[in-house]
Structure 1
Amino acid sequence: MKSPRAELTPQMEHYTFVLEDQPYIGFFQYGNENTPVYRTDPCGFRISHTADGRTASVAGERPPGPVRLLAGSSAVFGVGATGDHATVPSRLGSRHAPGRPWLNFAGQSLNSVQELMLTTLFQHYLDEVEEIVVLSGVNNLVLSRLPESQQGRHGAFFECGPAPENLPTPDQRIARASELTVRHLKGWQRFATAFGARLTYVLQPLAPWVREEPAPQEKALFDELDEVSNWRRLHNDIASMEVGRRYAQALREGCASAGVGFFDLNPALGEAVADDDWLFVDRVHCVDAGYDTVARVLAEHLELP
């Protein structure tokens, strides 16, 4: 008998999280990967789709003219999608906001400073950028559990050391994660200003921040994952809607002080779906229908053609 994960989400066997060691950012996708569910360009950025059937990527071919960037980590990369066509950048570029190509400007397991560093390392591939959306937030809060000795000057990153037995309080985790995020958004703001682009920070969806009870398929998947992972032990204190809203408020205030637009996708996504709509493959990543709904709600908020 197949497990729920194998039966419901067979595409996940191709998301192995084997990343290439990279200077400056630590790790990134391999370039020119071609798996049954995703392809990357020569620099490791995932391919996205456009409304006219063409493809676009940071270091690969794309239609001429201005582009829009969707930046972030594994959820923007599209872990859980059955193909490149189903990621949020692809759904924006091919259906919900198709006026310009959307580039998938994301790397798996990145924190906010690593996301920002991509702009420095790969800006030479970008000529005209008219819109930048940073869809992120979960990784910084997850990494806030690590002790001060692992935080360094710019925040902890994945694989930098073991998790402690005694975790900071949710308020301490929110304060640390939001401060780092806003600090790095000021760098994004300078980057956007240089291009004359609008910048928006979007708090990405986390399943328990979207709705109190998961859909039936989600519950089966979450229960299976909880048997083999330490999610509940390490993150149960932040995996509540109340903490999600407090985190969003801290980010909202920080973005306002930095002059950056802010949008909490979690309540908007919860209002856009029915209780039994299947959105998530795990608590952070979506199935195709979930990513399409994220793209639709995001496009409505941004009011882009």
Structure 2
Amino acid sequence: MKSPRAELAPQMEHYKFILEDQPYIGFFQYGDESTPVYTTDSCGFRVSHAADGRTAAVAGDRPRGPVRLLAGSSAVFGVGATGDHATVSSRLGTRYAPTRPWLNFAGQSLNSVQELILLNLFQHHLDEVEEIVLMSGVNNLVLSRLPESQQGRHGAFFECGPAPENVPTPEQRIALAGELTLRHAQGWQRFATAVGARLTYALQPLAPWVRERPAPQEKSLFEELDDVSNWRRLHNDIASMEMGRRYADLLREGCAAAGIGFLDLNTALGEAVSGDTWLFVDRVHCVDAGYDTLARVLAERLDLR
């Protein structure tokens, strides 16, 4: 008998999280990689679909003229999607906001400072940018459980050291993750101002922050993952809807003070679907329908065309 993951989400077999060692950001997708579910350009950015059947990539071919960026980590990369056509950037570029091509500006397992470093490393590919949506926030909170010795001045990153014996309180975790997230978001704001782009910080969805009860398919997938991973044990303290709202409120206030637009995709997504709609392949990443709904919600809430 197949496992729920093998039966419901066979595409996950091709998302191996095998990344190439890279200076400055630590790791990134391999360049010019083609699998049954994703394609990367020469620098490792995932290819997006654009209007009229064209494609668009940060370091690859794309329509001439201004572009829009969807930036972040693995959810923006589109882990869980059955193909390049199904990522949020592709759904924006082909259906919900197709007047400009959307570039998938994401690296798997990045924290907020690595996302900002990525912008600095590849801004020479970004001559004309009119819109930036930074869909992020979960990785900083996940990494906030690591001790001060691993946080350094700019926050911990994945694989930076052993698991801690003593974990900060949920309040401390939210405060640390929020401070780092807002600090680095201001770096994005300076870039956006310099190029004349609008920046919106969109707190990415986490399944238990979206709704109290998962869809039936999600319940099966989550239970299988909990049998083989320690996600629930490590992060149950920040996985409640209350913690998600507190984190969102902190980021909303900080973004307002910095003049950065803010959208909590958890409440927006929860309001956009019925309780039994299948959205997630795991607690962080979506299936095609989830990414499609996220793209629609972004376009509607940000008045994108």
Cα distance in 2 for residues equivalent to 1:164 and 1:153: 18
Cα distance in 2 for residues equivalent to 1:34 and 1:200: 31
Residue 121 of structure 1 corresponds to 121
SS of equivalent to 2:225: helix
AA aligned opposite 2:11: Q
Residue 295 of structure 1 corresponds to 295
AA aligned opposite 1:11: Q
AA aligned opposite 1:283: R
Q: CA deviation at 1:87?
A: 0.1
Deviations 1:139-193 (A, max 9, x none): 0000000000000110000000122132111110000000000100111011101
AA aligned opposite 1:304: L
Residue 239 of structure 1 corresponds to 239
Residue 103 of structure 1 corresponds to 103
Residue 272 of structure 1 corresponds to 272
Cα distance in 1 for residues equivalent to 2:248 and 2:170: 13
AA aligned opposite 1:246: R
Q: Are 1:158 and 2:182 matched, yes or no?
A: no
Equivalent runs, 1:35-50 vs 2, <5 Å: 35-50=35-50
Cα distance in 2 for residues equivalent to 1:36 and 1:136: 26
Residue 191 of structure 2 corresponds to 191
Cα distance in 1 for residues equivalent to 2:294 and 2:71: 14
SS of equivalent to 2:166: coil
AA aligned opposite 1:30: Y
Residue 88 of structure 1 corresponds to 88
Q: Are 1:20 and 2:35 matched, yes or no?
A: no
Residue 201 of structure 1 corresponds to 201
Deviations 1:93-117 (A, max 9, x none): 0001111000000000000000011
Q: CA deviation at 1:126?
A: 1.0
Q: Are 1:138 and 2:138 matched, yes or no?
A: yes
Cα distance in 2 for residues equivalent to 1:162 and 1:224: 25
Q: Are 1:286 and 2:289 matched, yes or no?
A: no
Equivalent runs, 1:194-233 vs 2, <5 Å: 194-233=194-233
AA aligned opposite 2:47: I
SS of equivalent to 1:130: strand
AA aligned opposite 2:229: S
Residue 173 of structure 2 corresponds to 173
Deviations 1:33-76 (A, max 9, x none): 00000000000000000121100000000000000000000000
Deviations 1:218-255 (A, max 9, x none): 00000000001011111000110000000000001111
SS of equivalent to 1:242: helix
Cα distance in 2 for residues equivalent to 1:230 and 1:187: 33
Equivalent runs, 1:60-71 vs 2, <5 Å: 60-71=60-71
SS of equivalent to 1:236: helix
Q: CA deviation at 1:208?
A: 0.2
Cα distance in 2 for residues equivalent to 1:184 and 1:267: 23
Cα distance in 2 for residues equivalent to 1:141 and 1:99: 34
Structure 1 stretches of 4+ moved >4 Å:
none
Deviations 1:183-223 (A, max 9, x none): 00111011101110000000000000000000000000000
SS of equivalent to 2:135: strand
Q: State the identity as a percent.
A: 84
SS of equivalent to 1:214: coil
Q: Note the residue ranges of structure 1 that are not aligned, 5 or more in a row.
A: none
TM-score (structure 1 length as normaliser):
0.99
Cα distance in 2 for residues equivalent to 1:90 and 1:105: 12
Q: CA deviation at 1:16?
A: 0.1
> Are the aligned partners of 2:298 and 2:304 in contact in 1 as well (CA < 8 Å)?
no
| Aligned residue-pair number | 305
Deviating more after overlay: 264-273 vs 39-48:
264-273
| Superposed CA RMSD | 0.5
SS of equivalent to 1:289: helix
Q: CA deviation at 1:85?
A: 0.1
SS of equivalent to 1:284: coil
TM-score (structure 2 length as normaliser):
0.99
Cα distance in 2 for residues equivalent to 1:147 and 1:76: 27
